[in-house]
A and B are shown apart, each in its own frame.
Chain A
Amino acid sequence: MNFDDTPQEAAFRAEARAWIQANAPRHLEPELSEPSVGRIKLRSGDILTESKKWQKKKAEAGWACLHWPKEYGGRGASPIERVIWQQEEGVFIKLESVFLIGQGMCGPTMMAYAGEDDKKKYLPKLASGENIWCQLFSEPAAGSDVAGLRTRAERKGDDWIINGQKVWTTGAHFSDYGIVITRTDPAQPKHKGLTMFFLDMKSPGVVVKPIKQANGQAEFNEVYFTDVKIPDSQRLGKVNDGWNVSLTTLMNERMSIGARIVTGVPEMFDFCSKLMLEDGLAIDDKNVRSKLASWAVKASGLKYTSYRSISALSRGERPGPENSIGKLVSGSMLQDIAMFALDLQGAAGVLNDADAVAGAGQFQSMLLRSPATRVEGGTDEILRNIIAERVLGLPGDIRVDKDVPFNAIPTKGR
């Protein structure tokens, strides 16, 4: 059990550190260091432009998508090297968030199911940030129950014709490509008649409508498909085997989300160390200490749990469903921390205006964004089901629609 770098790892770290030192966009550091959850908004520039610039620079120097094979734009790095890079990249890693879905989920799915030519054509541009990808899974009637989706794909010669609607599609408004799951055989039970494709988001018939979110931002969208044509060569996996393909995506989703958990604890610790209450510093208050300590051990527990998964990965073991705990624990913790931070400020906690009261506004974005953390990429309830069923071996939920042909499932509004 140790944290020491091997000589090889130490050399890698030194190289990474030197390169980041010389190349990172230092002027963004103060803004990127502020507490944030979800998508970053920069005051001093456009996040998309800045993210693409940094990603391109990294790609050109061989620091993009470290664990991907070189021929697809990666570096062929080991899991440990990837972690070392993330440690060294520090706050600049936040500039990767617009690429997270593409590189973390769509990329691995393409790698597993696309043809060799397509991999060579699309993956390097995904790695370098030139192209952004989105994941078109959720629908109005099919979120947690993804397999209940209704977007249709019908075969027409060498093409497929897609009709239907997706929703909550993060980044669709600036994405170049997407992976989409569709229903190709409604006469089969719901998990069996699905097929996966990738598509050009500029294809005729694709309409993207941004949705204004509860926190006022607009990260996600509705996406409408009207007679959108996708060549059969862009099918991922076998016809009607889309569910299995989607499991690859979702597995990678948990891993890539799990790898960069934001807990809010360092920010809260810092806040309490400076905040004066009536009787002195917040951090000297018994009640504050007790809460801080409980959050701190959750945050450290998550950190060392991820170290354990990395150790397992580096021994060649596959990441398991236990990686679900990162988001499950941090989601509601972020909410609790934000609420308590506001509570400590008393009446002024309500203010969002840093000019009006010192320290105001620090936890507002955490408060307003954190509800989404508990929903995106699997709700708390679904994650608990996964742990209960796949880790603890408890029986699956009773599924009344499991063996029924999809078009015979009685559903309100269908």
Chain B
Amino acid sequence: MNFEFSDDQKQLRDQARRYLAEHSPSKAVRSVLEGKAPYDKALWKGLAEMGFLGVAIPEEFGGAGAGHLELCVIAEEIGRVLAPVPFASTIYLATEAIMLAGSDEQKAKWLPKIASGEAIGTLALFEGAGNPSPKGINVSVSQGAVSGTKKPVPDGAIADFAIVVARTGSTGRETDIGLFIVDLNGAGVTRKSLANIDQAHGQAEITFDKAKAEPLGAANEGWSILTRVLDRAAVLMAFEQVGGADRALEMGRDYALDRIAFGRQIGSFQAVKHLLADMYVSATLARSNCYYGAWALSTDAAELPEAAAGARISATQAFQHCAKNNNQVHGGMGFTWEFDCHLYYRRANALALALGSLSYWENQLIDRMRLRNAG
């Protein structure tokens, strides 16, 4: 057993951390948050040049062909700095869907463009309130054209294409759901940006009116592919969340060492120390669950569904826990626009809902554990 990243992977992490520290300062996050740009284009291009966008894409499709462990390493660093780029939507969702279910032509068409930063992708799944469920899908496809409205779609306003989850029949069963690639710059697509708690990552409403839809994967397997995509994305996003949690903990720790009250560093007060110790504990548990998820993802193990749900729940809880207590350690400063605490608080709570809420993943975990115990 070896339950650690390899030295090469650690080197990649250092490289990504250095790069992002320089190219994704919180100033850049703020400029997207404040609406000065829809995303950080220069950073996106830079990430492509560093080979980070295509790190898990096979070489024959223009990627680095490294693998998912490497992608996990980079996801964590993206999460640490809250990089204001469509990384999750393009890489964890759209790319994973194409790699899992795409034909050779589809892979050849999209993957090189993703790796080079030329194409931004997303997954158009949700239709208003609620969690992933075949019953919640009303957007439909007939005769190669998709109609209906999706919201919220992450990075939907800037994406070039979307994987659209759509109904293909009328039974309401899983087998009536298909996945389709839709060119968002094509005819029949209207988009509108939606305000959200973390404007550093845009959300959109997309209305399709007989837009051209190209099937991705077998017609009746849409829901099962989607489930697999969500599991893979859950592991990757969990790394992003752990990166954010770790950074929030560090910020809290640094402030506790810096700020003096009652003639002492506030970090010498036990109430503050214990707050930070508990943040460390939740971040550590989440990290360990993520490592298990990374192992399952990179080996495509049968344990992946359970591991993914565990990593997702643990990382969601850890990031929310660390972000909220980071604010607390910072006192009044933590509630100012000027300090970065709210950037982490926003992101923690936005990511918590991104792939289905906590209760959705709790349900998934229990179902999957039961399945294992029964088997």
Contact = CB atoms under 8 A, between A and B. Distances in A.
Nearest to B274: A384
A85 to B, nearest CB: 13
Contacts of B314: 297-298, 300-301
Interface stretch (A169-177, A306-314, A340-348): A306-314
Contact of A329 (B274, B281, B365, B373): B281
B273 A388 contact: yes
A292 interface: yes
Interface stretch (B191-199, B204-212, B288-296): B288-296
Interface string B89-126: 00000000000000000000000000000000000000
B56 to A, nearest CB: 15
Contacts of A273: 370, 373
A56 B4 CA distance: 36
Interface stretch (B79-87, B128-136, B263-271): B263-271
Interface residues of A, number: 53
B288 A305 contact: yes
Interface stretch (A159-167, A188-196, A367-375, A394-402): A394-402
Contacts of A388: 267, 273-274, 276-277, 280
A308 B313 contact: no
A387 B317 CA distance: 20
B236 interface: no
A358 to B, nearest CB: 20
A360 interface: no
Most chain B beta-carbon neighbours within 10 Å: one of A2, A9, A290, A296: A296
B327 to A, nearest CB: 18
B362 A387 contact: no
Contact of A328 (B6, B272, B281, B309): B281
Contact of A397 (B270, B277, B292, B317): B270
Contacts of B5: 1
A226 B253 CA distance: 49
Contact of B69 (A1, A293, A305, A312): A1
Contacts of B278: 384
A89 to B, nearest CB: 17
Interface string A276-305: 000000010010011011101110111111
Interface size class of B (residues with CB under 8 A): 35 or more
Contact of B317 (A2, A294, A310, A314): A294
Nearest to B307: A300
A393 B256 CA distance: 10
Nearest to A289: B366
A86 to B, nearest CB: 13
B280 A311 contact: no
A308 B286 CA distance: 13
A334 to B, nearest CB: 16
Given A3-B295, A290-B359, A301-B286, A296 B268 contact: no
Which applies to chain B's interface (DSSP): helix, strand, loop or mixed? helix
Contacts of A296: 310, 365-366, 369
Given A1-B298, A392-B277, A307 B3 contact: yes
A269 interface: yes
A308 B277 contact: no
B1 A311 contact: yes
Given A273-B373, A298-B285, A395 B365 contact: no
A4 interface: yes
Contacts of B280: 325, 387-388, 391-392
Contacts of A387: 277, 280-281
B363 interface: yes
Interface of A: 1-5, 9, 80, 83, 269-270, 273, 283, 286, 289-290, 292-294, 296-298, 300-305, 307-308, 310-312, 314-315, 322, 325, 328-329, 381, 383-385, 387-389, 391-398
Interface of B: 1-6, 69, 249, 253, 256-257, 264-265, 267-268, 270, 272-274, 276-278, 280-281, 284-286, 288-289, 291-292, 294-295, 298-299, 309-310, 313-314, 317, 359, 361-363, 365-366, 369-370, 373
25 contacts: A1-B2, A1-B5, A1-B295, A2-B1, A2-B295, A4-B1, A286-B359, A289-B362, A290-B359, A293-B361, A293-B363, A296-B310, A297-B285, A297-B313, A301-B286, A301-B289, A302-B285, A303-B288, A304-B288, A311-B4, A325-B280, A387-B280, A387-B281, A391-B280, A396-B268
